């Protein structure tokens, strides 16, 4: 065995270890959780509604220019249907961030944000950074949730509020930048 072969057999990899943070995306069925993630990752919109079964996981890398940092986020897109509620504990477990999503055209989805948040608290996530998202602002004529209502909930949950449209992409990138920044800062970097 030559010296070259010995060296090749014992390669030592050195480099920075990349942290991956888990962010759960929660809210009622059909509020646009998957569409927001799809828009963020691909700049596309899927017009056909396909309910998420259990959980869908998407890994995205987000650059925080002002921090000169790269944050790897693993988004857990959690099904909103009641038949998947028994799976919440493992899905919520260990989350580093939360995106709470409601549909600005459906009042019930707004009211249920409290239930989703309380579930997260029940699983020990009360201190985790979170962002409140009112989605589907492109449907202006159908809007039911007015800004002061959303801002009140935002204050109550201590979560910055953003209004988005997964269809047009409005504010989608900003929301993901914000949760990356909040998670990064919460980790004491």
- Judge whether 111 lies within some domain: yes
- Judge whether 136 lies within some domain: yes
- Judge whether 11 lies within some domain: no
- Judge whether 169 lies within some domain: yes
pLDDT-flagged residues of the chain (< 50): 1-8, 13-16
User: pLDDT, tens digit, for every residue of 98-144?
Assistant: 999 999 999 999 999 999 999 999 999 999 999 999 999 999 999 99
pLDDT for residue 57:
77
The total number of structural domains that make up the chain: 1
Q: Are 84 and 116 in contact (CB under 8 A)?
A: no
Q: Are 104 and 132 in contact (CB under 8 A)?
A: no
- Judge whether 5 lies within some domain: no
- Judge whether 1 lies within some domain: no
- Judge whether 2 lies within some domain: no
Please state, in angstroms and rounded to a whole number, the distance separating the CA atoms of residues 163 and 134: 5
Please give the radius of gyration of the chain, using alpha carbons only, rounded to the nearest integer: 19
Please state, in angstroms and rounded to a whole number, the distance separating the CA atoms of residues 53 and 41: 19
Total residue length of the chain? 189
pLDDT for residue 83:
65
| CATH assignment of the domain containing 79 | 3.40.50.300
pLDDT for residue 117:
96
Please state, in angstroms and rounded to a whole number, the distance separating the CA atoms of residues 32 and 47: 11
- Judge whether 4 lies within some domain: no
Environment class of residue 145 by beta-carbon count within 10 Å: exposed (0-12), middle (13-18) or buried (19+)?
Answer: buried
pLDDT for residue 59:
84
- Structural domain harbouring 62: 17-186
């Amino acid at each position: 065995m030559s010296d070259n072969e010995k060296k090749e057999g014992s390669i030592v990899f050195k480099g920075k270890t990349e942290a991956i943070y888990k962010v759960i995306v929660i809210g009622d069925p059909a509020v646009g959780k998957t569409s927001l993630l799809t828009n963020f990752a691909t700049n596309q919109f899927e017009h056909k509604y396909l309910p998420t079964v259990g959980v869908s996981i998407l890994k995205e890398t987000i650059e925080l220019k002002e921090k000169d940092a790269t944050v790897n986020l693993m988004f857990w897109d959690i099904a909103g249907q009641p038949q998947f509620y028994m799976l919440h504990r493992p899905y919520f477990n260990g989350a580093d961030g939360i995106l709470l999503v409601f549909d600005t055209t459906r009042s019930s989805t707004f009211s249920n944000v409290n239930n989703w948040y309380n579930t997260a608290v029940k699983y020990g996530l009360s201190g985790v950074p979170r962002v409140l998202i009112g989605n589907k602002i492109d449907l202006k004529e159908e809007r039911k949730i007015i800004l002061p209502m959303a801002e009140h909930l935002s204050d109550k949950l201590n979560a910055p509020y953003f209004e988005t449209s997964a269809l047009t992409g409005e504010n989608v990138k900003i929301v993901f930048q914000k949760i990356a920044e909040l998670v990064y800062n919460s980790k004491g970097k």
